Structure 1
Amino acid sequence: MKFKVFLFTVVILASVISPNTSSASEIDNEHESGLELTENHEIDMEKEFDEIEVLFNELDAQAGLDPDQITPFNFTLPLPVYFAKIVDLAEGETQMTVKANTIEGKGTTKGLKLTTVTSATTALKNFTTGAEKHGDKKTAIAKFTSTSTTSMNRASGLNDYANVTIHTATHQGVLYDARTANRAVDLN
């Protein structure tokens, strides 16, 4: 009798768990499809920087700041696009660090589902000089984090820097994307 009770308990437990989980082969297929979509997704970083520059100018205008008069001391507006959620598949953010001789940019995308493939592609631009530095597209699967980094030398004088990250997440053969950005006005 104990054997039948034990077997019955295992069958109930298995039927409760299995409808909500995917098999390993289904997850592998989802990852393969997602990796292919992610690798084939082209990013036009020049267009991304053009759009973020428009956003910067709009924020400056709303604050009553003349773009030619912004200094590290009067630029206190937080840029509202440093964190993004891609549907319920992933979360992404952009961080920029000003160091003694360099500006460092980092973009991360963290997957929130086992079947998701994420990517992060970050780039820095000095709007004052026009110099750009692009990081590599990095990918991750499941609930891991993709991290793209880049850095550039700090230019002398007053400079307006942006760090933009393109985040992607795939699910069931569809690629979703979002953008995050940070800004630093720097006097070196």
Structure 2
Amino acid sequence: MNRGLNFILSLIMAVTMFIPFKDYFIEYKSRIEKISITLKQKKDMDFQFFYTQKSTEYFSGKGLISKKSFANPDGFEVIEIDLKDISDIHSFRLDFGSYPEDFFIKEIALINEDKKVIKLNEVLNFPMNHIESKEIIDGDLRLISNQVDPFIVFSDEKIGSYRNKGFIYTKSVLMLLFLFILSNFLLNLFDKRGARD
């Protein structure tokens, strides 16, 4: 087998073997520059955003951003949380003050290079605290709480797919190089055995 054909076949074999494992070389970019929440509520709210930067961390005051959200029963308000100075967000928690009663969420979006809108029907299955009722009405998420500490937790496993994907290029190239060398070796081995026969 000539070198040119050997090279082409080795390359095809390497790519073919790489494809089933490509997901192992994809990572989610956890850099979130901003989170926006489009909200409507009957009462003023001391809105709080808690975040963790590692899987071993718990939500605490050191990872806390507070915002005042005012009653707007006739329209939605956009609350924006600026995260440009935070290097990584592993998980976050949205706290809706105390005794907020009846309130609606129209949109929750993660913003970095582009805007990723979290599906509200998925939020229904996220961990919640002191939320007495939850349902989708006309495309909006309606929540009811008459308790002191209602919140929703957005864990890494829940929000990972909404981040931008990126290949881990160094590992990908090294893996492809290894598969190419392996393919080339196997082709040469079969070629030598064929020549002997």
TM, length-normalised to structure 1: 0.31
Q: Which has the larger radius of gyration?
A: 2
| Structure possessing the higher relative contact order (Cα contacts under 8 Å, 6 or more residues apart) | 2
TM-score (norm 2): 0.30
**Which has a greater percent of strand?**
1
